[in-house]
Copies of this chain bind each other. A is one copy, B any other.
Amino acid sequence: MSSLIEVGIVGGTGYTGAELLRLLARHPQARVKVLTSRQEAGKRADSLFQQLRGYCDVSYTAPDPEALAGCQAVFFATPHGTAMSMAPALVARGVRVIDLSADFRLKDPAVYRRWYQHEHACPELLAEAVYGLPELHRHDIAKARVVGNPGCYPTAVSLGLLPLLQAEAVDRGALIADCKSGVSGAGRELKLGSMFCEASDTLKSYGVAGHRHQPEIEQELSAAAGGPVGLTFIPHLIPMNRGMQATIYARLTRRDLDLQALYQDRYRGEPFVDVMPAGSEPETRSVRASNTCRVAVHRPGGGDTVVVLSVIDNLVKGAAGQALQCFNLMFGCDERTGLDAPPAAP
């Protein structure tokens, strides 16, 4: 028992927090020691999340820096603003931080301020934080004290575009990502748009004028592309619980490339990226509750437009699963630990 890695979760009442509890329940090397919620303090987690009955006997406690400092790793599953206020003290005491909010994703504090309307609380820690996309930053993640876990849209879009951008195969100035997300992406907070009767049997675009995941995607894609990208990013709300697809459009600049081989080579050995056979169309349910991203690359009609289909579970590879993948890297566990259950469909 003493050899288990002791873990804290700050803000465990949302969907990503509950998902962390589900995944950690099967992680043989980790144990949730502290689970905080100011509002639900004293309640068992499985009284809020019936599905955890029999798998998780942790109770919520009010956030206590001392208790959290006794953990080896702390996950933040909080609204933005919380992690950056608590992380410096934890890091100072040797706790490794994995933040599922946006606080440690944007390298440039000015960009953070523009999109989140307040100053970043610890720019120096931000400077050393690592963007938690293992397919790009595996080695840095392993050594990181603070990981900024990617957003769901940035994960789906980045994994879809990386091979093309790194191969300089497309016009990086004219990228389009038409993204479709299940409703859990909006979180468990009460919002009119997340109500069943507002979101079922319908769909709509949202955030057309600007979405906070845009600068995050641009940051990572620009780095991969070796220069600034131009991206049109339109998210859509879809009547499904989980699941996300990025349908990506780009203009080919190198027509000689074997796109299928490009993708297979780029992701060879990646445990959580599945390059589908040529001609395939992945469905979001095929990754439900799993950490896999499935990608298919198409060139309709043999023309100059390449179309990439990239699907993930927004709560797993788009949030809690990717955080656990980073955790595994940081603590020397096999990267797949706790992430090996097959998806369930239908």
Contacts and interface: CB of A to CB of B under 8 A. Distances in A.
Interface string A190-219: 111011111111111110111000000000
A166 interface: no
Interface in A240-257: 240-243, 245, 247, 249, 251
A311 B50 CA distance: 12
B288 A232 contact: no
A301 B211 CA distance: 11
A286 interface: yes
B285 A202 contact: yes
A345 interface: yes
A115 interface: no
A180 to B, nearest CB: 6
A35 to B, nearest CB: 16
Contacts of A200: 183, 196, 200-201, 239-241, 346
B183 A53 contact: no
B344 A51 contact: yes
Nearest to A232: B305
A238 interface: yes
Contact of A274 (B53, B192, B307, B343): B53
Interface in A293-346: 294, 298, 300-301, 303, 305, 307, 309, 311, 340-346
Contacts of A198: 196, 346
A203 to B, nearest CB: 5
A204 B283 contact: yes
Interface of A: 15, 18, 22, 25-26, 49-56, 174, 176, 178, 180, 182-184, 188, 190-192, 194-206, 208-210, 230, 232-234, 236, 238-243, 245, 247, 249, 251, 274, 279, 281-290, 292, 294, 298, 300-301, 303, 305, 307, 309, 311, 340-346
30 contacts: A22-B342, A50-B345, A51-B288, A51-B290, A51-B342, A53-B274, A176-B305, A178-B247, A178-B249, A180-B180, A183-B197, A188-B197, A196-B198, A200-B239, A201-B285, A201-B346, A202-B346, A203-B283, A208-B298, A208-B307, A209-B298, A232-B300, A232-B307, A234-B307, A236-B245, A239-B239, A239-B240, A288-B344, A289-B289, A341-B341
